[in-house]
Structure 1
Amino acid sequence: MTSPATRAAARSYGGERALTMTTGLLLLLLGVGAALLGYGVFGEGRAARAVLDPQVLRTLVDWQLAARIGAIVLGLVLLAFGLRIVFATLRPEHHPDLALNPTRGHGVLVTAGAITEAIATDAEQVPGVSKARATMVGDEEEPALRLSLWLEDGTDVKQVWREVDDTVLRQARESLGVDHLPTAVRLELGAAQRQRVR
């Protein structure tokens, strides 16, 4: 189970990671098996024999049409599975709009763009912050926030964090009517300005 902070920090690639890990483990096991076969662990003459057992080859020859149809079907299934993974990876990330007071029947829908623009504007008012960018992620039931802050050179990071947590994020939670707003904050410190030599 992922924590709310993890969900806010980055787009979830759980499915892709699980598939990659499973594929990697299978290929690793195949590689280890081939190495053990080559070193003669399964018998001295086994490495010189054909990969497919002669009985299997004989069966495939006897049932050529069924084997070809099976290979085509398997290829199509793998193609569809691969395309599904590609489209899932390339789909745009969901930025949820939030409905305020939906129980009253006359709720107001606040777009993700409006929310993030307001939060970024509030964050830029914090002393020491030169630029801010906010992004809403997750879904309508469990929204999360990514907040990137660019700090001026020499800024007290602890003071900025205190101000952001006490003011900006608290105002965001109150405005959106949520008790919890998981937030991942990325801080980037500004480099010292270069001095020109005359």
Structure 2
Amino acid sequence: MLRTVNRVLTALIGLVLLALGLAVLFAGADLPHRWKVSMPADWPWTRPGDVVLSRADRTRWSDEGWWWPAIIAALAVLLLLTLWWLLAQLRSHRLTEALIDSKDGEGARLRGRALEDVIAAEAEAQPGVDSARVVLTGRRQHPRARVGLVLAAHAQPGQTLRLLRREALAHAETSAGLDALPAEVRLRAARHRAERVS
């Protein structure tokens, strides 16, 4: 969900900034006058010396009592949304530890990197898998795995997925005492550089 929101926001902000930049460049280079293009009557930029807001527009509501609180509130909300978005980008989605039910009433903590390394090592040992990368996400009580596999040319994707589920992920569930370890698996083919044969 956050990834989709991030992409949509980034695309919208990019499009708005691009349109704004092109409009300023269009007027700054005096292109409407040179190309004899008639702009709409309320278009703010037509000549290089034009401003976006005239003095009358800038001071229209400044004597009103609600004006400055509204501007400050809008800027504060914009600042908070920007900070939230920035922190969401910097926050790691990787699970640092998983809580394990040790069946003695106490429980235990398992380092997320240790479980990731074990699953990746067992996945790489499968036939047809060149390399594997595993990232644990989710909550500490209910971890999820994101697995990326790079397959060799001779690998059979269906069989590779079945082996991964039956062996690497099942062993991780059993050894960590998890009820389930849902996984999202992404497969891609290995790319080999072409070599010159003489």
TM-score normalised by the shorter chain: which range applies? Answer: 0.5 to 0.7
* Residues 75-84 or 111-120, more deviating: 75-84
Whether the aligned pair in 2 keeps the contact of 1:96 and 1:139 (CA below 8 Å) is no
Any conservation in 1 of the 2:135–2:146 contact (CA below 8 Å)? yes
SS at match of 2:71: helix
1:174 aligns with 2:155: no
Cα distance, 1:158 vs structure 2? 2.2
User: For residue 142 of structure 1, what is the aligned residue in structure 2?
Assistant: 142
The change in CA–CA distance for 1:84 and 1:15 in structure 2 (over 3 A counts) is farther
Matched with 1:186 is: 186
Equivalent residue number for residue 165 of structure 2:
165
Tell me the CA shift for residue 100 of structure 1.
2.0
Tell me the residue number matched to 1:197: 197
What is the total number of aligned residue pairs between the two structures?
Answer: 160
Amino acid corresponding to residue 2 of structure 2 in structure 1: Y
Instruction: State the alpha-carbon separation in 1 of the partners of residues 7 and 123 from structure 2.
Output: 36
Runs of 4+ in 1 over 6 A off after TM superposition: none
Structure 2 residue 6 is matched with structure 1 residue 13: no
Cα-to-partner distance string for 1:165-190 (whole Å, 9 max, x where unaligned): 21111111112222221101111212
Scaled by the length of structure 2, what TM-score is found? 0.64
Q: Relative contact order, CA 8 A, sep 6+: which one is greater?
A: 1
Residue matched to 1:99: 99
Residue aligning to 1:56: none
Contact 1:97 1:110 in 2 (8 A): yes
So what's the TM-score if we normalise by structure 1?
0.64
Partner SS, residue 104 of structure 1: coil
1:125 has 2:122 as partner: no
Deviations 1:1-42 (A, max 9, x none): xxxxxxxxxxx407836984xx89xx9xxxxxxxxxxxxxxx
Contact 1:94–1:139 at 8 Å: present in 2 too? no
Kept after mapping to 2: 8 A contact 1:98/1:109: yes
Cα 1:126–1:14 shift into 2, 3 Å? closer
Measure how far apart 1:149 and its partner are: 1.0
1:61-72 correspondence runs (5 A) = 63-72=63-72
Unaligned residue ranges in structure 2 (runs of 5+):
17-39, 43-59
- The 1:129/1:19 distance shift into structure 2, 3 A limit, reads closer
Distance 2:168 2:159 in 1: 13
Identify, as 1 or 2, the structure richer in helix. 1
Structure 1 unmatched ranges of 5 or more: 1-11, 28-46, 50-58
Amino acid paired to 2:196: R
Deviates more, 1:71-80 or 1:101-110: 101-110
Deviations 1:105-160 (A, max 9, x none): 44331100000000001111111112111110011132110111111221222222
Tell whether the 8 Å contact from 1:153 to 1:192 is kept in structure 2 after alignment. no
Equivalent residues of 2:61, 2:67 under 8 A apart: yes
Q: Which residue of 2 aligns with 1:37?
A: none
Distance 1:136 1:163 in 2: 19
Q: Which residue of 2 aligns with 1:36?
A: none
What are the Cα deviations for residues 46-74 of structure 1, in whole angstroms up to 9, with x where unaligned?
Answer: x989xxxxxxxxx946x534422332233
